[in-house]
Each structure stands twice: as C-alpha cells, then as structure tokens.
Structure 1
Amino acid sequence: MTEILRLEGVSKAFGGVRAVNDVSFALQEGQIVGLIGPNGAGKTTLVNLITGVHPLTAGRVVFAGRNVAGQKPFQAARRGLARTFQIVQPFPQMSVVENVAAGALFGGGQPSRQAATEAARRELAFVGLEPFAETPAASLTLPNRKRLELAKSLAMQPKVLLLDEVNAGLNAVEIDGALDLIRQIAARGITILIIEHLMKVVLSISQRILVLHHGELIAEGEPRAVLDDERVIEAYLGAKFAARFREAGRDG
C-alpha cells in the first residue's frame, strides 16, 4: 500500500493545556482507520490540526508526500483532505443541492457553478438524497443531514476523508445504513479516518485502530489486539476498574 497521510510529532497547546502531544502515525491509501478515545482525549482537535483549522504547536503533517503544516482549511480541501463535523450545520435556507454544490465549487475546485451543481447531483444520488435535492436543507431529518454532510465532503473530491462522529444520534438501522455507505466510499479508493465511540462500529468497519488518551497516542494496530491492550482498558475504565477487569479475566 502507498502512504497517503503521515503525522510526525504533532502537538497542540492552548495556553498551558497540551491538547495533543507528540502524535505520530501514518495512513495508507484505501484504508479505513478508527480513531477512538475517551471524551476529551483530543480526537476532534487532531482532525482540526490535520485540516488546518488550528495551527500546529509542533510537528509535521505530510499529505501525499508534501508537508502541509500551516495550511488553511480551504487549502486542505482543495488538496484532497475533506472532513465532516460532529454537529451538522448545513446552510439552512439553501437547497440540498446548493449545499453540496458549494462544497464542490469552493472546496472541490469545480470550474463553474454548473459543473459544481452536476457534481453535487452525482454525490446526492450516491448517498441516496437525490429525491431531496431541491428541498431546503433545514427540512432534512438528522440521518439525512448526516448524508448531506457526506455528500458535501465527497463533492470536494477527497483523497482522505475524516469523519467526526458520523453515527452520533442515529439508531441501529440508521447506523447500519451509514456503515454500508462508508464501505462504498472506501471502495472508491478514498482513505477514511473515522472518529467513533461505538465499539461495535469500530470493530465492524476498521482495519486499524488508533487510541488517544490525554492527547497522546497510547495504542494502535489491529482492532481486537488494541481493545485488549491494558492501557486502552485503563483509559476507558480507570485504573481501579481495569484491575478488576484483569482479575476477572484471570479467574475466568
């Protein structure tokens, strides 16, 4: 596999608080990689650093062989680094197709409004929102707003797609539909890094897992091995309950 994205010693401090500390890892083309960790671990901050929302305090972000540390979010999008947001906020008075066309025009570098609209309609068909193309984005249900967010990101023609809690607020059936869609996106050759809290989801879709805790990368590797790592168990359960968990395992 070919490496598409690499982080080298990436750190971010907000005043005296180090939200991300010396994180290094690499993503290979076509992979689906899960990024997990307790609340406040620094997962969304890390995505913000990769996409230029926040400047790095230290380290490098290398995308397609180029150091892109210091890039602006629009530059990240045009280079092929797209992301979704945990809280979906479309332009409410614009139609669904206009929302996606905006991503295609300003992030995907489409040469005209017509070309952007054509690209938007292709992605709406892909995510199953074509029947809602002319409706106001504000009228969409939460599951469809999540699909709109995916369509908008795909219209930017990404090489890497960073998904932030794309399944949050969805029921079991809706999650299954979202996972099918994510697999279809990966089949297009797009590398995916997905922030996720639901372990069932992580295990079912990820080829590798990265674990953040207090801003540091404490484990990475094959999903089952990572979830059996004592550092990961302690990060989620706390030292006291992790000790009980290990004791129960020896007794069982």
Structure 2
Amino acid sequence: MNRKGAVRNLDIVKAVIFDLDGIITDTAEYHYLAWREIAEELGIKIDRTFNEQLKGVGRMDSLNRILTFGNKNLSVKEKDYYAAKKNERYKELIKGIGPTDLLPGIEGFLQEIRDVGLKIGLASASKNAFTVIESLKIGSYFDTIVDAALVEKSKPDPEVFLRAAEQLQVPYSTCIGIEDAEAGVIAIKEAGMFAVGIGLESDLALADIVLPSTELLHLKQIIEIVEGSFGC
C-alpha cells in the first residue's frame, strides 16, 4: 500500500515522539531482572506486579520507590552506587538485542511517518536510549533522541517530551506522543500533546487513544482522530 498522502492536514501534526521501552522494543523484562537483583541485595523482594510502578520512571526514582516499598533508607552515596550497579547489570542483559527485538509494526509505522514528511523524536526515561536504538539499527528514522541523561526531571514530568519537541523545532501542540506507561501518558498530556497509549485502557485512562498493541499503530487513522478532535 502507498502510505503517502495519508495525512490530510500537516498544520495540525508536525511530529511523532516515541517512548522507547514497551513501544519501540520491550526491554522492560531486562529492567525488571536488574532491579530484582538489586532489591534482593538490599533485602527487599519485588515481583512483576510491583514492577509496574517502575515502568516509564527514571532510574533514581525507581530506586527510591523500591526503598520506600522495602522501608529502607540509604545515603546519597549508596543510592548512586546501587543505581549505577543496576545500570551496569541492565547493559549486560541487553547486549544481545537487535532488529528482531523491534515490537510488531514499529518499523513500518516509522517508515509511514517518514514517508509523509513528519518529524520523529524519542523521549526515553532510559540513559541507554542511544545504545538501544543503535543496536536495533533504526537510528536513521529519528530526528532527535532525548534520554534521561539530558533532562533533570523524569516522567511524569513533561520535560523529556518538551525537550524533544524543542529539538525538533515544532510547537508542543503539533506533536503526537506514544507511551505504554501511565507516567509517560501524564507527561505527554502535561506537555500539551496528543497522547496515544499502548496497553490496557484501564491503565492508560488519560490517553486520547488507547491501542492494545503496537501492531495497530497506523498514521492515517490516528491523524483522522486528531483532526476530529480539532473539528477539522
């Protein structure tokens, strides 16, 4: 199918900004395994249910949530040590990641966006976003990548999405943000952007659209809904 011409009004949408984990690829399991090891070392037991609270959240905020859950206090120096140790373990776990780890439909969706001339950004809570994108071999699609190393505040603060829009040189209101975590959706909405959630509607109630899978991401349909919300 020729995807060009799918967008009727480029004045309303100028860019699509993606989250990384759970949208481009699923490294959430690797984050969970790394955090579980750190938690066990600290005498705290976490499971996958608790791990849902860590999705889309920065490294230090995740560690603080684990410490609060385990009713444990650490000094700033100790927190820095365990956060860095978690990251080293995570980087070991993702060494084998490659193009086959892209989530269903994502590369086709990226190409669809590129075909109509919209800009593409990445807004990730991970400090390893550049490494992961390079391993997935999709760096050529992105006009900008903003990760946790480039911002002061983590999601649900909108800073990472605002920074991405600024680097793309487009108004915030002309951006579509795509997220799979509640914190990320809140960040998109706080940035004044149109939010597409991937996952369960009950978990992503603030999103403007919720799709159960990345496989269902199609630019034409999303643009039509965006245009409808503006009465176009």
**Do they fold alike, i.e. is TM over 0.5?**
no
Query: Structure 2 length normalisation: TM-score?
Result: 0.29
Query: Structure 1 length normalisation: TM-score?
Result: 0.27
Bigger radius of gyration, 1 or 2?
1
Higher normalized helix content (fraction of residues): 2
